[in-house]
Amino acid sequence: MARSPGVSQVEVHHPETETELVEVIADAVATARPLEITGCGSKRTWGHTLTGSATLSTRAFAGIRDYNPDELVLTCGAGMLLSDIEHILAGAGQRLPFAPGHWPTVISQTANDQTIGGVLSTNLAGATRFRRGAARDYLLGFSAVSGRGETFKAGGRVIKNVTGYDLCKLVCGAFGTLAVLTEVSLKVLPAPERTEAFRISTTDIDDATRIMHLLRRHSIDVAACWYVPEDTFRAWPGARASGVAAPGVIGVVEGTSAGMPPRIAQLHRDLAAAGLAPDFTAIADEAPLLTSALSALTPLTHDFDAASEALVRVSAAPTDLPALAGLASAGDVFRSIRGLVDCSGHWLWLRAPAHHLADLVGRLRAAAHGGDSTTAGRAMASVSIVHQPMGSAVPAFCQASPVVETLNRRIRAGFDPVGVLNPGRLFSSE
Amino acid sequence: MVHALSAYEAASGSPGTDGVGVDPAARARKQAELVQALDGRLKPEQLIVADDALAPFESDGLTAYRVRPLATLLPANTEEVAQVLAVCTRLGIPVVPRGAGTSLSGGALPQADGVLLGLSKLNRILEIDYDNLTVRAEAGVTNVGITEAVQRAGFYYAPDPSSQIACTIGGNVGENSGGVHCLKYGLTTNNILGVKLVTIEGEVVEIGGAGLDSPGYDLLGVVCGSEGLLGVITEVTVRILPKPEVARALLLGFPSVLDAARCVGAIISAGIIPAGLEMMDALAIQAAEAFAHAGYPLDAEALLIAEVDGCATDVDIDAEAIARIARAHGASSVRASTSEQERLHFWAGRKAAFPAVGQISPDYYCMDGTIPRRQLPHVLERMAEMSSHYGLRVANVFHAGDGNLHPLILYDANVPGELERAEAFGADILRLCVEVGGVLTGEHGVGVEKRDLMGEMFDDIDLAHQQRLKCAFDPGGLLNPEKVFPTLHRCAELGRMHVHGGRLPHPDLPRF
């Protein structure tokens, strides 16, 4: 690992063992030089991107360590590719229950896959998050090297474990700022025998909201639902081919093949009884294509220009989302913004030209934090910029309350006192 | 575990307690200081210092251990909790939070020089939101109380620990409680959206929120399961679910534990995740049947109780498949419930397993560990050997779906040495769990009971990383100080960096 002082070249480290990884981090600590942790680099623009730092690749930490389908636990290297994991699980009729979205590789200009370490570090989830949870709900244990240059482990390889603090939750969504994961153990579940979908036509967000309320509350488990508004639908050339023939609410149901027809029929009946399904269309065979398109956020990402556009995710209680959607489309300035309601009404994705980003996010955050922002009160929503062009510097994450900010800072200092792991990635004040 | 108690009792508390735990005069002085500092903020009935009134608070569900606290305080709302904690911080008095005191690991065992902070007066349900499917409740609301508040509307709160009629939602968050249905529906940590927490300094903070995502670290995730060491929870926002259309239970008897264990693996391999999947061994079956008369097969060496729920068609399909798989694995009896009443009846024996065992033995010690499920036959065999060695019987109840084992060690506290033998037997079982690739505790928590076994699972560096979390929330170590971690380090010490290969960080900086 030759280093030439005075020559500004970006070093790339590819440690192949835990010992080498410890060495790289210890070196970074001793010289106070930051490291950008990368797997495939597909989510580099989510959070504040480091520029000019040395890179530390996790790719050598790959491969399955242990997989017992009937124990529902898979242990693998943190640098293992998501597509490889999904393929192996599918071979045993299983899947990652949190169905991580594939959209990062669609909008990334450089990466065509993701590592499981990156998926966990960003707490990536899918449209079923409301019912099935996110990555953080399925990490059972891990080994890592912290920003102190120390190897440590947490959790275990079993599903029921409350021994000590739940550090698995801490590293999920930490964006690599606490430790570099080397090995992870995941809870996996059987993949459903059958997936089917349905569409209810509507171009009115209040109508869509009422429909999604019913779907969320229904005793028939609707795994996920989305609302594709009219302007997003019109701008999506692949809509019909994906089974979406008109704007409206789309729902997905998973389970046994035999159980599907009565469940879909029951939903149709109950929606009709509530006066909410003037045009209910079952989508049977195109359902996998449809869910794949929505996992990639295709309605918004199909012609995405990463160099001039931004992608924002608003996360709120379903009853608060429509007002925020209204803000995002209000006035002349925001006519160029396209949206998609995801995750059974909990997420609003917004695609915006980069020059509107600061204004858009400013308005949304002001509404989300209005009234309670100076106290320990709860914010109404979390507004996160999952992609903005390189060089665009709008704060990617919301400010938390002062007490929470203090806790975050202390935790960071405990695990990475010198601040070498992805400094500034999560907290813009670094 | 006995030596844990001796050390605990012998210690006069955290450093600087001036002998408060052992010296009556010092104790009385400290009590007076506390009462004065509280300055009338709590009503008299909320401030308990009389010895006889403190007796009910000396123990939680781990009844072999009793410690009288300095005082028991019963705040009625978040504001009072904050005031109490601020006072305790100022006076350097440790605090042990307590919900209903049903902990089986001594998590709410008081400190002799500390305050026992009871949350039972925070017992209101604050908000039910059927549109967003959440309930916001004060920490002292019982687990079943949340379900009861929403069941007429057709909803329920899924995590159902067996103490649910008594245990509080705040305690559930502290322990990350599970229950029979957590294989399908997750633990407490998978079913909450937010908490209101008071820090040891008395600051009130909202963690999590109405939406699914919050900026920064997953503090909600680390607070859940933190056993009262990071802060005092005063409110919890939980997710409620629509009641499934149908639920059906199956009673499956097997001639051997091995057959039953193989059946469990086959059910999961078939792609079925039952809502519940429990196993009982012969001694547990006999005790439960004598107590509850649920119709358990007394000739079976192992009994599986499986439950499936969902829409009617899927339940029919899954129940039929489970019965078929059971027969293919040598089941000696297969019964499916045909009514809601019968379903509840099937569960009656399992739900009464602990009191049932209490009928066949003067005392019992309930263990909690998790193992990889394929290790079950081996672990049961080793436990039978230990049972001979210690001369104590053991009945087994097992969350078969997720590998969480509850061995019930039968003993008589009145026989000299039996309590100690039971504890030694228990410690050996937990070491065995870790040895076969499992963990020390699946749902009861570490508390004081398993504290000194933490080294079986984690090395010093692992534990130091965990304790840095503690340093972020409670650097003074006043919250539940004697629980979970066997060796406490000062936070300044934990903050120091190691020297690697002779290099100090920032070698060019002058050092004084």
Mean pLDDT in order along chain A per 10 residues (430 residues): 52 96 97 96 91 93 96 97 98 97 93 97 96 97 98 97 98 98 98 96 94 95 95 94 94 94 94 90 92 95 95 96 88 78 96 94 89 54 95 92 95 97 89
> SS3 of A374, please?
coil
Q: Helix H segments across A125-275?
A: 129-132, 167-171, 205-217, 230-234, 260-273
When CB atoms are compared, the residue of A146, A401, A415 closest to B205 is A401
B393 near B283, Cβ under 8 Å? yes
B248-258 pLDDT tens trace: 999 999 999 99
A123 near A163, Cβ under 8 Å? no
Nearest-neighbour CA in chain A from B196: distance (Å): 9
- Top residue of B212, B434, B453 to mutate, by most chain A CBs within 10 Å, is B212
Q: What is the pLDDT of residue B496?
A: 82
B396 near B284, Cβ under 8 Å? yes
In chain A, count H helices and then E strands: 14, 18
Helix, strand, coil percent content, chain B, rounded in steps of 5:
40, 20, 40
Q: What is the pLDDT of residue B18?
A: 53
Residues of chain A with Cβ-Cβ distance to B450 below 8 Å are: 163
Q: Which residue of A has its CA nearest to B400?
A: A71
Contact A220 B444 (CB under 8 A): no
Is the confidence at residue B490, as pLDDT, over 50?
Answer: yes
Q: The tokens of B51 are what?
A: 């010895």
CA angle A328, A334, A339 (to 5 degrees): 50
- For the question of an ipTM over 0.85, the answer is yes
Give the residue-averaged pLDDT of B62-73: 95
Cα dihedral: A99, B319, B186, A143 (round 10): -60
Contact B217 A378 (CB under 8 A): no
Q: Which residue of A has its CA nearest to B237?
A: A378
Nearest-neighbour CA in chain B from A353: distance (Å): 23
Q: Are strands A338-342 and A347-353 parallel, antiparallel or unpaired?
A: antiparallel
Residues of chain A with Cβ-Cβ distance to B403 below 8 Å are: 71, 158-160
Contact B220 A169 (CB under 8 A): yes
Q: Which residue of A has its CA nearest to B177?
A: A162
Alpha-carbon span A238 to B358, nearest angstrom: 65
Number of CB pairs < 8 Å for A and B? 291
Q: What is the pLDDT of residue B488?
A: 83
Q: What is the pLDDT of residue A9?
A: 65
Residue that has been written with the tokens 């709160």 in this structure: B157
Count CA within 13 A, CB hemisphere, residue A311. Answer: 26
Contact B213 A382 (CB under 8 A): yes
Nearest-neighbour CA in chain A from B450: distance (Å): 9
Residues of chain A with Cβ-Cβ distance to B82 below 8 Å are: none
Contact B500 A26 (CB under 8 A): yes
Residues of chain B with Cβ-Cβ distance to A400 below 8 Å are: 214-216
- Residue A278: CB atoms within 10 A of its CB come to 12
Alpha carbon distances (Å) from A74 to A116, A186, A189, A335: 12, 5, 10, 46
Nearest-neighbour CA in chain B from A304: distance (Å): 25
When CB atoms are compared, the residue of A93, A263, A320 closest to B210 is A320
Q: What is the pLDDT of residue B500?
A: 53
Residues of chain A with Cβ-Cβ distance to B399 below 8 Å are: 160
pLDDT, mean over chain B: 92
A210 near A278, Cβ under 8 Å? no
Q: What is the pLDDT of residue B209?
A: 82
Q: Which residue of B has its CA nearest to A95?
A: B271
Residues of chain A with Cβ-Cβ distance to B217 below 8 Å are: 170, 173-174, 178, 407-408, 411
When CB atoms are compared, the residue of B222, B317, B494 closest to A166 is B222
Q: The tokens of A132 are what?
A: 């099935």
Cα dihedral: A282, A287, A290, A294 (round 10): 100
B139 near B233, Cβ under 8 Å? yes
Sorted by sequence, the CB contacts under 8 Å of residue B140 that are 6+ apart come out as B99, B100, B119, B120, B121, B122, B123, B168, B170
Nearest-neighbour CA in chain B from A190: distance (Å): 5
A350 near A356, Cβ under 8 Å? no
When CB atoms are compared, the residue of A29, A154, A418 closest to B462 is A154
| Predicted confidence band of residue B17 (pLDDT cuts 50, 70, 90) | very low
Q: What is the pLDDT of residue B201?
A: 97
Contact B183 A159 (CB under 8 A): yes
Q: The tokens of B356 are what?
A: 């049932």
When CB atoms are compared, the residue of A378, A410, A418 closest to B206 is A378
Residue burial A219-248, b: 16+ Cβ < 10 Å; e: rest: bbbbbbbbbbbebbbeebeebeebbbebbb
Residues of chain A with Cβ-Cβ distance to B210 below 8 Å are: 316-317, 320, 378, 380-381
When CB atoms are compared, the residue of A218, A262, A401 closest to B206 is A401
Q: What is the pLDDT of residue B509?
A: 44
B157 near B135, Cβ under 8 Å? yes
Contact A190 B271 (CB under 8 A): yes
Nearest-neighbour CA in chain A from B49: distance (Å): 32
Is the confidence at residue B83, as pLDDT, over 50?
Answer: yes
Nearest-neighbour CA in chain B from A230: distance (Å): 25
B204 near A376, Cβ under 8 Å? yes
Q: Which of A16-25, A205-214, B15-24, B64-73 has the lowest mean pLDDT?
A: B15-24
Nearest-neighbour CA in chain A from B52: distance (Å): 34
Q: What is the pLDDT of residue A335?
A: 75
Q: The tokens of A288 are what?
A: 């996998």
Q: What is the pLDDT of residue B433?
A: 98
CA angle A342, A347, A352 (to 5 degrees): 95
Is the confidence at residue B504, as pLDDT, over 60?
Answer: no
Nearest-neighbour CA in chain A from B259: distance (Å): 15
When CB atoms are compared, the residue of A70, A346, A411 closest to B269 is A70
B206-232 pLDDT tens trace: 999 889 999 999 999 999 999 999 999
Q: What is the pLDDT of residue A67?
A: 97
A308 near A389, Cβ under 8 Å? yes
A187 near A249, Cβ under 8 Å? no
Nearest-neighbour CA in chain B from A260: distance (Å): 9
- Top residue of B156, B185, B213 to mutate, by most chain A CBs within 10 Å, is B213
Alpha-carbon span B460 to A153, nearest angstrom: 11
Residues of chain B with Cβ-Cβ distance to A259 below 8 Å are: 310-311, 313-314, 317
Q: What is the pLDDT of residue A51?
A: 81
